[in-house]
Amino acid sequence: MGIHCVVERSNVAALSAHAAFVVERFVTPYRDVAGAPRLRRVVYSLPTRYAEEERYRRGLAPLDLVRPGLSAALRTLRGAGVEGRMLGMGGFPLCAAEDARAERPKQDVSAAERGERVYGRACGDCAVRPGCGGVPTAYFEACGEGGLRPVQAASTTGQGAPAAPGRAL
């Protein structure tokens, strides 16, 4: 059993409280005989395209607004033994979390998984870009680039610029 939470401007401020509610209402009271939560996961995603383009655009929340609440929600859920996801199809870029490095998947994102998503100018030197799916083009139109938070390389003694897969806006 899982919950899918579409994050919009209208609910972004409530993510932390929502995760606490989920734990109280659905995790704590319902565990199997081994004590594991029956609620297996909560998946957070950006909105997918709506029939009304302007409504979709208005719903996209800047990552600076998403980051604190989404990070708190993931901590709350994971602390309760529930898988908290923010990546994958329709999901967020890695820097939507406060610790983008910790969220980086083991496998790099393939071109097929990336689909039509793009990267901003700020993504060029981001150390986790190969593991990040980028954002929909409409994100930049709705929110600009200010919310992107590129991750610094761990060391400046590497072999030059990191690989920059995917399409830049």
List residues near ligand SF4 by CB under 6 A.
Answer: 93-95, 100, 119, 122-123, 126, 128-129, 132, 134, 148-151
The nearer residue to ligand SF4, 69 or 147, going by C-beta atoms, is 147
The nearer residue to ligand SF4, 59 or 134, going by C-beta atoms, is 134
Q: DSSP 3-state assignment of 2?
A: strand
**Nearest-CA neighbor of 123 among 147, 97, 105?**
147
Q: DSSP 3-state assignment of 139?
A: helix
The nearer residue to ligand SF4, 81 or 149, going by C-beta atoms, is 149
CA distance 30 to 151: 38
Shortest distance (Å) from residue 127 CB to ligand SF4: 8
Are the beta carbons of 12 and 69 closer than 8 angstroms?
A: yes
Helices (H) and strands (E) in the chain, counts: 6, 5
H-run or E-run covering 66 = helix 63-79
Q: DSSP 3-state assignment of 140?
A: helix
The nearer residue to ligand SF4, 81 or 130, going by C-beta atoms, is 130
Q: DSSP 3-state assignment of 150?
A: coil
The nearer residue to ligand SF4, 83 or 108, going by C-beta atoms, is 108
Shortest distance (Å) from residue 67 CB to ligand SF4: 10
Shortest distance (Å) from residue 113 CB to ligand SF4: 13
Shortest distance (Å) from residue 66 CB to ligand SF4: 12
